[in-house]
């Protein structure tokens, strides 16, 4: 199982802050994960409508969409950051 | 020559005391000849906002600011570096973020404080949601292209 965590408007649109999922075979990169998630329902489709703006972190470090999921324990999806 | 100081990074709901944070870096360290502080505050946007709600990714917020601070320590000869970022509901006029950089001469402290803020804005996992004064549902603040550009200027040529 892989833990997915969501923040800000990604969290609001999906309607939950985290969930555990079993990734199907063939999901190798973050881009694969995003496109698989979009097919899981309207709320995911609405959160991930423009996947290119979604930022991703694996085990609390920024990664790119083309990076491999590997042995990730926790994958976070969130909008561009607006702190400071 | 003492060992390089360890940056102080705190993510907290409560406010901070700027004078106390400066004193933490200067007391007992007479090599410090320059301290630069940056404080970011919540604006009311012309009366439109009742508050900003700061959401963060616990664990990653600290880790990411630590990574940025470690890079600043490598780039400049700093004698101390502190970053404090608040989360939760913050009304206009209240503090959001503090950076304190101490060095022997001013340039390192100025540049390191600016560097830390530029990267913190584009890489530290915090998100601002507006709470409107008129009671209507507020929206999430959009990231600014200018903030990404500000971080790019530190790229080494």
Domain boundaries, chain A: 2-78
CB contact under 8 A, A82 and B140: yes
Number of CB atoms found within 10 A of residue B83's CB: 27
Enumerate the residues of chain B whose CB falls inside 8 A of the CB of residue A80. 122, 142-143
The domain that holds B119 is classified in CATH as 3.90.1170.40
Counting one residue from A and one from B, how many pairs have CB atoms under 8 Å apart? 75
Q: What is the per-residue pLDDT across B17-30, written as a single tens digit (0 to 9) for each? A: 999 999 999 999 99
Exposure string over A54-66, b if 16+ CB within 10 A, otherwise e: bbbbbbbebbeee
C-alpha to C-alpha distance for A53 and A34, rounded to whole angstroms: 11
- The structural domain count of chain B equals 1
* CA distances from residue B114 to A51, B14, B71 in whole angstroms, order as listed: 31, 24, 13
Q: What is the per-residue pLDDT across B31-63, written as a single tens digit (0 to 9) for each? A: 999 999 999 999 999 999 999 999 999 999 999
* DSSP secondary structure letters along B37-60: EEEEE---TTTTEEEEEEEE-TTH
Domain that holds residue B30: 8-152
C-alpha to C-alpha distance for A6 and A12, rounded to whole angstroms: 8
Tell whether B86 lies on the interface with A, counting CB pairs under 8 A.
Answer: no
Confidence at residue B156, expressed as pLDDT on a 0 to 100 scale:
77
CB contact under 8 A, A8 and B85: no
ipTM over 0.90: yes
Whether B25 and B73 have beta carbons less than 8 Å apart is answered as: no
Mean pLDDT of all residues in B102-123: 98
Strand partners, B88: B54
The CATH number of A2-78 is: 3.10.20.30
**Distance, first Cα to last Cα, chain A:** 34
B145 pLDDT band, cuts 50/70/90, is confident
Strand partners, B36: B101
Q: What is the per-residue pLDDT across A28-83, written as a single tens digit (0 to 9) for each? A: 999 999 999 999 999 999 999 999 999 999 999 999 999 999 999 999 999 999 99
């Amino acid at each position: 199982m892989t833990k997915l965590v969501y923040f800000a408007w990604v969290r609001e649109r999906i309607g939950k802050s985290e969930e555990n999922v079993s990734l199907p075979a063939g999901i190798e990169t973050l881009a694969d994960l995003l496109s698989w998630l979009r097919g899981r329902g309207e709320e995911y489709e609405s959160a991930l409508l423009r996947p290119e703006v979604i930022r991703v972190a694996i085990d609390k470090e920024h990664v790119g969409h083309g990076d491999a999921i590997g042995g990730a324990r926790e994958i976070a999806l969130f909008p561009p950051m607006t702190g400071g | 020559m003492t060992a390089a100081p360890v940056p102080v990074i705190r993510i907290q709901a409560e406010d901070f005391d700027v004078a106390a944070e400066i004193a933490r870096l200067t007391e007992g360290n007479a090599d410090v000849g320059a301290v630069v502080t940056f404080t970011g505050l919540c604006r009311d946007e012309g009366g439109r906002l009742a508050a900003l709600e700061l959401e963060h990714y616990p664990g990653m917020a600290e880790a990411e600011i630590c990574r940025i601070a470690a890079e600043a320590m490598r780039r400049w000869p700093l004698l101390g570096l502190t970053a404090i970022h608040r989360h939760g509901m913050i009304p206009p006029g209240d503090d959001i973020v503090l950076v304190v950089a101490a060095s022997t001469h001013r340039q390192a402290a100025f540049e390191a404080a600016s560097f830390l803020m530029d990267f913190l804005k584009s890489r530290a996992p915090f998100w601002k949601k507006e709470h409107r004064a008129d009671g209507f549902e507020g929206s999430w603040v959009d990231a600014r292209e200018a903030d990404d550009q500000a971080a790019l200027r530190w790229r080494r040529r």
